[in-house]
């Protein structure tokens, strides 16, 4: 919004033509990170009366998907169990729910649950749980109905 006001001011004072101002605003919008666009939307106060525009939602979803893909690609295969990935974070720590371990534990849960029962058993034998993590791997499996 602020950029658009500045651009409109430049047009009024003859620094830019209307067409070049529109082209510049389009270029800024196309090049900006969706998080920046969302922040600009919120800073403008429009979020109080308008829903988040669909183009920002879509671009933000794509951006988050790409960031998640890059993060997951950096993990070893097979993934390390949480107690080996971050031995500095105890099992019951908030660090697994918010903070440095949050993304990893969620990705680990999804990865482990996607393994076959046989693969889970092989993984569990190869990565024994320390005493303070005892029962973790069995606790993250979906409950049988």
pLDDT digits (tens, 9 = 90+) for 51-84: 999 999 999 999 999 989 999 999 999 999 999 9
82 vs 21, residue with greater confidence: 82
φ/ψ of 7, rounded to 5, equals -60, -40
Distance CA 42, CA 22 (A): 22
CA distances from 96 to 7, 77, 86, 89, 90 (A): 46, 20, 10, 8, 9
Q: Name residues whose C-beta falls within 8 Å of residue 58's C-beta, 6 or more positions apart in sequence.
A: none
Instruction: Please write the tens of the pLDDT for every residue from 117-131.
Output: 999 999 999 999 999
The residue-averaged pLDDT of 104-117 equals 94
Tokens encoding 16: 């830019």
Lowest-pLDDT choice from 10-19, 49-58, 114-123: 10-19
Tokens encoding 129: 């749980």
Of all residues in the chain, the percent with pLDDT exceeding 70 is 77
């Amino acid at each position: 919004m602020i950029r658009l006001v500045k651009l409109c001011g430049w047009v009024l004072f003859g620094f830019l033509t209307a067409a070049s101002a529109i082209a510049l605003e389009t270029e800024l919008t196309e090049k900006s990170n969706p998080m920046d666009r969302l922040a600009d939307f919120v800073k403008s106060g429009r979020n109080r009366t308008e829903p988040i525009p669909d183009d920002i939602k879509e671009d933000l979803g794509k951006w988050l998907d790409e960031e998640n893909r890059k993060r997951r690609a950096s993990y070893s295969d097979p993934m390390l169990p949480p107690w080996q990935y971050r031995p500095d974070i105890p099992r019951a720590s908030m660090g697994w729910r918010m903070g440095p371990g949050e993304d990893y534990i969620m990705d680990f849960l999804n990865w482990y649950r996607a393994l076959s029962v046989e693969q889970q058993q092989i993984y569990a034998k190869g990565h024994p749980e320390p005493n303070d993590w005892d029962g973790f791997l069995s606790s993250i499996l979906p409950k049988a109905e």
